[in-house]
């Protein structure tokens, strides 16, 4: 199920050519986003607590890629940049480059 506010997907392309997708799906999708008009980067706890989102698209892709994230490129669709938490996770995993695709 998809997010009511903004559908975001991420694709990690590993140095070995393997591709790992991720989405910001919601286990408990809402008709209206509980974050309302909050700006990007604010209220993400509501995504988890109300909608049952396990993680942003970047985190889901990182979970799937495992060690293949080292040196990989992450393509982000639906956003032009990662939130601070996702950026830290990408850096920790060794992602070499993040490309926002509008």
Q: Model pTM?
A: 0.84
* Sole residue written with tokens 């997907």: 9
pLDDT class of 101 with cuts at 50, 70, 90: confident
Q: What is the largest CA-CA distance in the chain?
A: 41
Quote the tokens at residue 76.
Answer: 């982000």
Contact 72, 52 (CB under 8 A): no
pLDDT, residue 1, reads 64
- Ranges of each domain in the chain: 9-101
**Distance (Å, rounded) from C-alpha 94 to C-alpha 88?**
10
Count of residues in the chain: 102
Reported as a single tens digit per residue, the pLDDT across 33-86 is: 899 888 877 888 898 899 998 888 999 999 999 999 999 999 999 877 888 889
Domain 9-101: top CATH class:
alpha beta
Please tell me which residue, 98 or 82, carries the higher pLDDT value. 98
* Sole residue written with tokens 């991720």: 22
For residue 66, CA distances in Å to 15, 54, 102 come to 13, 17, 26
């Amino acid at each position: 199920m998809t997010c009511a506010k903004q559908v975001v997907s991420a694709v990690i392309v590993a140095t070995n050519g393997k591709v790992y997708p991720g989405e910001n799906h919601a286990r408990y999708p809402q008709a209206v986003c509980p974050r309302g008009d909050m700006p990007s980067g604010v209220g993400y706890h509501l995504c988890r607590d109300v909608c049952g989102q396990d993680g942003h698209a970047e985190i889901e892709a990182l979970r799937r890629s495992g060690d293949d994230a080292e040196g990989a490129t992450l393509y982000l669709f639906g956003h032009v940049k990662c939130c601070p938490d996702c950026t830290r996770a990408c850096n920790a995993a060794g992602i070499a480059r993040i490309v926002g695709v509008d």
